[in-house]
Structure 1
Amino acid sequence: MKEERYFVGEIAKTTGLTVRTLQHYDNIGLLPVSGRTESGKRYYTKEDLISLEQIIFYKMLDFSLDEIKKKLIDGPTEIELKEILEQQEYLLLRKIEQLNTSFATIDASIKVIEAGRQPPFHVLLKFIKTLPGDDIFEWAPSKVSKEQQEVMSGQMKDLYDVQKFYHKWKSLLIEATALLHSDISPSSREGQELAGQWWDMLIYISGGDVTKLEQIDQSGAMNEEMLVGEKKMLEEANDFIQRAFDIYSKNNNIQLKEIKTND
């Protein structure tokens, strides 16, 4: 039976890759052509297409070509492949969180401008460096106590729930810092909107059971264990949120023991 042959131009058209890209893959040994016709035309086989599918998949997940080449040559087992993909998942989450931090900073700056003030860019840049690095998803679980894990387990079912909570927590702290250093009061519209978002986050993390909030004490755990920069800036942001929330809770008749934002 004659072997099926797929020529470079056909593969490029089908996959959306350029001919130059396929030639590069061939030159570096990532996807060598299987042969040439008598006229010198390069071609691939069906097995090559399977390898190319894997290359495109790994590339989409942001693996480097060297990493992809090693994986294709080594032929990882299912367990090894699962570990490889989980590691890459963490790396992608870190990149997503870097973008989330940028969005949060932009949103906070826009709110300050809408309030008629100048965003404190130098303070925001300094504060962002104070926050945990974006490798948090790899080490943060070990910093949460067993009791806290049990309380939060209903809402923290997977890594994406953790990211959602972390992003919201960080966004509110960035916004609090922007408002504080723009001389915008906790009692202002902006301050009260922030307090409302903080309350919504607490309700979410507790699953609506406010009696769990003291058990969770999420700020204490995060602030002490995940702080990498100047503690004072984080304490100031937390203090702003506490003052805003004190006003918010009175205005909305929230009967709750003082929620600690400092440990």
Structure 2
Amino acid sequence: MLADHTSDLGRVVMVVPTYNEAANIAWIVGRLRAAQPTVDVLVVDDGSPDGTGGIADGLAEADSQVHVLHRTSKGGLGAAYLAGFGWALDRGYDVIGEMDADGSHQPEQLQRLLSGLLSADLVIGSRWVPGGSVVNWPWQREALSRGGNLYVRMLLGITIRDATAGYRLFRRTTLEKIHLDEVRSTGYVFQTDLVSRTLHAGLTVREVPIEFVERVRGESKMSGQVALESLKRITAWGLRERWQQLKGRPTAGRELVSTR
């Protein structure tokens, strides 16, 4: 039963970063609270001008398991997650998760990640392992994501199929071991960075399949330009990583564990 998994893992919080998600935030928080009543929610709002932060405050006032962290400006996805991770670590959570506010990460599938974390240090909800899928994506975007992840695997020498995915759960001990204070990536490269750091630390990363659903409300923050810029940053960062590996630093190529 799900309650048993949650009890075994300890206190769980999902960090949900927002910027102009007024059309989605109450909807996704409501779904998450219904799907996982024992899991807390932290909304990290980057000063959304559309009132997302105020809506989140109202949700928190009505539900003691919903919390809000207000940031004064839009500082990037990675910066928002780092702020949320720090908040959660300070409050003693045992498991700290990531998910988007737009519904692309379905709360009803969070149990798959919780189950996967029982035998891992980081679990990723993956689009590109057997059983994973995407809904309502044009072929160009799927090709870009698949190609980008193939490039990451080749560049970094890892076996993770979906290193750019943003639906994931970390054990507290994982975040404590990967030196978050040294993380400088703030955009979409952040996801790949943390996967690599977890593997470098000798920890286990597990992928479980999810169905990723393209948002139906609001505007996507991802574009071809953003994706290409991320790949450029991954290239520069990855080449540095490879050079350090050649000079004797342990590689990140720990064997991947995946489930269906």
Same fold (TM over 0.5): no
Q: Which has the larger radius of gyration?
A: 1
| Structure with more strand by fraction | 2
Going by fraction, where is helix more abundant, 1 or 2?
1
Task: Provide the TM-score with structure 2 as the length reference.
Answer: 0.28
Query: Relative contact order, CA 8 A, sep 6+: which one is greater?
Result: 2
* TM-score, scaled to structure 1: 0.27
